[in-house]
Structure 1
Amino acid sequence: MRTGIATVCLSGTLKEKMQACAIAGFDGIEIFEPDLVTSPLPPEDVRKMAADLGLTLDLYQPFRDFDSVSGDLLTANLRRAEAKFKLMARLGMDTILVCSNVATASIDSDDLRAEQLGQLAALAGDHGVKVAYEALAWGKYVSDYEHAHKLVEAVDHPNLGTCLDSFHILSRNWDTAPIEAFSPDKIFFVQVADAPKLSMDVLSWSRHYRVFPGEGQFDLAKFMGHVVRAGYSGPVSLEIFNDVFRQSDVERTAVDAMRSLIWLEEQSAKWLDAASDAGTGTGAAGTPAPGRRRYPMELATLPQVAEPAGYNFAEVRAADTQGLETVLGQLGFEFNGRHRTKDVQLWSMGHARVIINEAAPADGDGATGDASPAIAALGFDVASPVIAAARAQQLKAPAVPRKSQANEEVFQGFAAPDSTEIFLCQGTSDGTAAWTSEFGEGLENPTAGPTAVIDHVNLAQPWQHFDEAVLFYTSALALEPQPFAEVPSPTGLVRSQVMATGDRAVRLVLNLAPLNQQRKTYQEHIAFAVDDLVATARDCRARGLEFLQIPANYYEDLDARFGLAPDFLATLQELNLLYDRDADGEFLHFYTATVGSVFFEMVERCGAYDGYGAPNAPVRHAVQYDHLQHR
């Protein structure tokens, strides 16, 4: 699949955008006209630079408000078009995007539109240019891609075809199956964009909330499957209008964009295989659609991996570890000793393992960064760490080297968008980890804690990388995004996105950190699941644990909502426990005080409860905020 991206997707100058696209590995680019108009580079220099970078210049866009106009406007539009065709010759480009009219259209006549598009196609033919006509979702008279295609067919000129844009099609809930009947010779260009499903006018939705494939809720694999079945073999190009992307680091955004197309290519191949096995769909000639490998566009796949089997460990980094050691001990974790070659400690409770890394973090320049406690790494049990790491690398995840000596476990690792290090560990049927033998003797008489596992980890995400993180964990770790929630807090609404495996062995919660707080200063936590939370809480209290203090108003509200038994309600209030219930079960949990930017949660899931106590989150946010204000 030939990959492309429109320069409108990225921040920076045209030169910076082109360099970033080349670094990310794109085959070609669309030049968004304002990027060229504002550039000091002459068209000839842009053409040479693209060639030097190994980029093709695939599409010049957009040319607006051409059709459905009166005679005098048509004359002006043809003059404007010819000027652009001459400019394209200097750039070495041969395809222009023409959008259906949204502003100056005054005549609703398909016959007139076909006549005017025919004149444009003839003029384009004189200059060796192809016109890709696109139905904008908010077009005045042409807003449906099938309508646009019918006009193209009516004109029947070799220099006029259609552009299929997934946003304009899927935002209007148009059926994509008819694409298969299009002649591939008449599909001049394909643009893809994802988006969250929002209730708002489609123009504002398009201009501000598009995201890269895999970061929204559109069924892009199905859309692409129909495009491939139609016989299209040209570029598949990203056209994303997003306020955040245009403020973010250009190279990083370009890499995220490329990752999204790699993921989409794989998902489309899977859709085609499934549809082929089911015997559904028809090709351009109306015959049964064969398997994907018989089509002109070949879709590459990645090394296949199963979803993680569970958490292997969580790592917290801190220069001063005393606070962490105290809290873990009070929770009932056992100290299992120090690593024989590294400045790290191992603490465990059942199969829940926490590593305390005493090395201070380094910032981007290699200097020592903030040394307060923060979640630094997560380990996941996978069937084949080497294959899973190869998949992540092909998805452009930056590798994280881990120095190992003889007889030490070699971890495959890579960095997540928020800088958390992800390590892939060899899973075992009994939940043990061979690498724990690398740690020396722990306490001679450790306090026996309850059996526990890591239930979930909550990570704060920088505002400019939240969507990137969703795609990253979806594509690299096979986690599935769940419906997101917004939780009130004293600093505003906190967007919360759960990523999970199908069996919920791994639950990862991504929170969008407030704009005024950097990721590693915003509170994050690790939650451990136990069988008896009340007994665990009593033991923790006896060991001197500082619980997050829950206000009495919460328990009055709890009683009003659930009508709990008085003795049980009194126990909850006595121990600062929180409670939730739904049709599937019950949920009990408590929080510790925060150390640095990290706190811990203990939970008990009863029945088939699958949530996280979301109604209690505003209480937690408010109490933590109050503590922070009074430090």
Structure 2
Amino acid sequence: MRTSIATVCLSGALDRKLHAAADAGFDGVEIFEPDLVVSQHSPEEIAALADRLGLALDLYQPFRDAEGVDDASFGDVVRRARAKFALMNRMGIDTMLVCSNVATATRDSDDVSARQLAALGDVAGEHGIRLAYEALAWGRFVDDYRHAWRIVERADHPQVGVCLDSFHILSRGHDPAGIEQIPGDKIFFLQLADAPVLTMDVLSWSRHHRLFPGEGGFDLPAFLGHVLRAGYEGPISLEVFNDTFRQTDPERTALQARRSLRWLEDHAAAAGVGAGMEPLPDVQHPTAFGFVEVKGEDTSPVEALLGQLGFTFRGRHRTKPVRLWSAGDAYVVCNEQHARDSAPSLAALGFDVTDPRAGERRAEALAAPTRFRQAYAGEQELPTFAAPDGTEIMLSAATGSGREPGWVDEFEGGSPPPGSTILGVDHVNLVQPWQHYDEAALFYESVLALHAQPAQEVAGPAGLVLSRVMRTADGAVRLALNLLPAGLAAGAGLPQHVAFATSDVRAAVEHGRRHGLRVLDVPDNYYEDLTARFDLDPDFVTSLRSLDLLYDRDADGEFLHCYTRTIGDVFFELVERRQAYDGFGAPNAPVRLAAQTVVA
């Protein structure tokens, strides 16, 4: 599979964009004309740089206002086109993107558009150039790829074909199945972009909110399947307009973009479409959270809190300044190694998988940054790599219910765990920096095959918090990614947290209180509102109030939960799910956020 990326996807000067694309492993680039216009380098210098980097220059774009115009205006179109064709010859680019007319179209006639495209094709042919005609989603008369193809068919010119852009097709709700009716050799170029499902004007949606494959709500594996079954053999290219990518490191964005195409290639290979599509190493679906790691210069306050929650001290690691606490199937590692001047924070997540080494190979194939952790003789080596926010992801071999992981034996001097109401880790909330939020979703989708749920907005004292849950189908692993607003530092009311599942949250809190536990205070106003929202027994509400417990209910069941105070940048939650409740108590999140602000 030949891969390409439009330079508009990346920030910075054109020469740096080319370096970033090459370093990420792309085969070619689309030259976005404004990037060339503002470059300090000549077209010949850009072409020479691309050649040195091993990059093909696959497309020059965009050429606008080309068809559907009166005869006098078309003369100017031809003049502009000749100048651009000469420029493309200087750069060695043989394909130009021609957009359906938005601004100057005055003639709603397929005959006129076809005739004018054919005339442009004649001029392009003189320069050895092909024209890829694209239906913009906001084109004045042509906004549907099927309409664009009818015009290209009518033009019947060897230099004129179509460009298919997933955003322009899927954002308008057009059925992509019709792509398979287009001869593959008349699909001159393919551009891919994902996007969140939004309700807004399509031009603003396109200009500001496109995403890389796997980060949004479009079914791009199915879309690509239609294109490949049509017989398309050209580059698979990304064209993503996104305000975040225009402000972030181009090298990192290029790696993110390449990972998205690797993920997409894996889906195409699994579907058996497209020659040369290479599958990734088998995905290792997590079967459970293996452990969570809290790291800081002094983790003793966290350990005291764990003791209040009913966790048992299992011992100190025999070679490292690391201690282990457990309750049920929940394991918390407290790490003071290399953490000088650091407040406690959530540093790593362990996932139980069937084959950790297979998971490691998949992560490497997706260019996930690897991390080294010293392991001595007799200690388990856990494959480790970094998520976009820096959280370390570690893979351990699943042992099955009721059996402890082998690495637990590396901790000495602790006590065997007694019975506990705590069952295991229910979910983990990770705050994401604004520039890595979408990258994180793609990371967990592609590396661990966690499925993204629809994002939700939660009102907090500092503004709206956007939350997207990544999870396994069976709910054994639930990972909530919360968007950290730009300008808001980590720890300012949005610390990360671990939720522990319990069979009886009231018993767990009562036990904790006897050992000094103080959960987050819930205002009386909340319980008055709760009584109004749900028809609850007054004695039940009183019991909730007495323990500062929060409550939610839906058609599938009930949810009781509470939160601890924050230590450094981490806090804990106790949750009790009743019947088949599968949510997270989202209506209660504003109460928690406001209460944490008061405490802070």
What displacement does 1:514 show?
Answer: 2.2
Name 2:481's counterpart in structure 1. Answer: 510
Does the Cα contact within 8 Å between 1:374 and 1:520 map onto a contact in 2?
A: no
Counting aligned pairs with the same residue, the percent is 57
The one of 266, 271, 294 equivalent to 1:316 is 294
CA RMSD of aligned residues (A): 1.3
1:386 maps onto 2:357 in alignment: yes
Deviations 1:456-481 (A, max 9, x none): 00000000000000010001001001
Aligned-partner Cα distance in 2 for 1:579–1:143: 49
What displacement does 1:520 show?
Answer: 6.0
Name 1:542's counterpart in structure 2. Answer: 514
Aligned-partner Cα distance in 2 for 1:81–1:30: 18
Deviations 1:346-400 (A, max 9, x none): 0111110000110244xxxxxx6x6011100000000000001101111110111
Name 2:277's counterpart in structure 1. Answer: 299
* Counterpart residue identity of residue 508, structure 1: L
* Counterpart residue identity of residue 598, structure 2: D
1:329 maps onto 2:335 in alignment: no
Name 1:276's counterpart in structure 2. Answer: none
What displacement does 1:449 show?
Answer: 3.8
Aligned-partner Cα distance in 2 for 1:60–1:426: 49
* Counterpart residue identity of residue 299, structure 1: M
- In structure 2, the CA distance between the partners of 1:183 and 1:488, relative to structure 1 (3 Å rule), is same
Aligned-partner Cα distance in 1 for 2:299–2:349: 18
Deviations 1:67-102 (A, max 9, x none): 011122111111110000010111111111000000
Corresponding residue SS for 1:247: coil
Counterparts of 1:169-208 in structure 2, within 5 Å, are 169-208=169-208
Name 2:125's counterpart in structure 1. Answer: 125
What displacement does 1:325 show?
Answer: 1.4
What displacement does 1:326 show?
Answer: 1.3
Name 1:566's counterpart in structure 2. Answer: 538
Corresponding residue SS for 1:603: strand
Aligned-partner Cα distance in 2 for 1:197–1:468: 17
Does the Cα contact within 8 Å between 1:333 and 1:447 map onto a contact in 2?
A: no
Using structure 2 for the length normalisation, give the TM-score: 0.98
* Counterpart residue identity of residue 300, structure 1: E
1:213 maps onto 2:213 in alignment: yes
Does the Cα contact within 8 Å between 2:491 and 2:568 map onto a contact in 1?
A: no
What displacement does 1:164 show?
Answer: 0.4
Name 2:463's counterpart in structure 1. Answer: 492
What displacement does 1:323 show?
Answer: 1.2
Corresponding residue SS for 2:241: coil
What displacement does 1:220 show?
Answer: 0.8
1:340 maps onto 2:311 in alignment: no
1:109 maps onto 2:94 in alignment: no
What displacement does 1:320 show?
Answer: 1.4
1:411 maps onto 2:371 in alignment: no
Name 1:616's counterpart in structure 2. Answer: 588
Name 2:157's counterpart in structure 1. Answer: 157
Aligned-partner Cα distance in 2 for 1:105–1:439: 74
Aligned-partner Cα distance in 1 for 2:315–2:180: 63
Name 1:86's counterpart in structure 2. Answer: 86
What displacement does 1:267 show?
Answer: 1.6
Aligned-partner Cα distance in 2 for 1:422–1:518: 23
* Counterpart residue identity of residue 107, structure 1: R
Aligned-partner Cα distance in 2 for 1:178–1:145: 9
The unaligned stretches of length 5 or more in structure 2 are none
What displacement does 1:448 show?
Answer: 5.7
Counterparts of 1:228-239 in structure 2, within 5 Å, are 228-239=228-239
What displacement does 1:576 show?
Answer: 0.6
* Counterpart residue identity of residue 532, structure 2: A
1:71 maps onto 2:71 in alignment: yes
1:19 maps onto 2:19 in alignment: yes
Deviations 1:383-434 (A, max 9, x none): 0000011011111101111111100001011100000000010001234210
Corresponding residue SS for 2:143: coil
Deviations 1:44-87 (A, max 9, x none): 11111001111100000000011011122111111110000010
What displacement does 1:447 show?
Answer: 7.3
* Counterpart residue identity of residue 597, structure 2: Y
Aligned-partner Cα distance in 2 for 1:448–1:504: 24
What displacement does 1:452 show?
Answer: 2.1
Aligned-partner Cα distance in 2 for 1:564–1:112: 70
Name 2:168's counterpart in structure 1. Answer: 168
Name 1:603's counterpart in structure 2. Answer: 575
What displacement does 1:306 show?
Answer: 4.0
Aligned-partner Cα distance in 1 for 2:491–2:220: 34
Name 2:334's counterpart in structure 1. Answer: 356
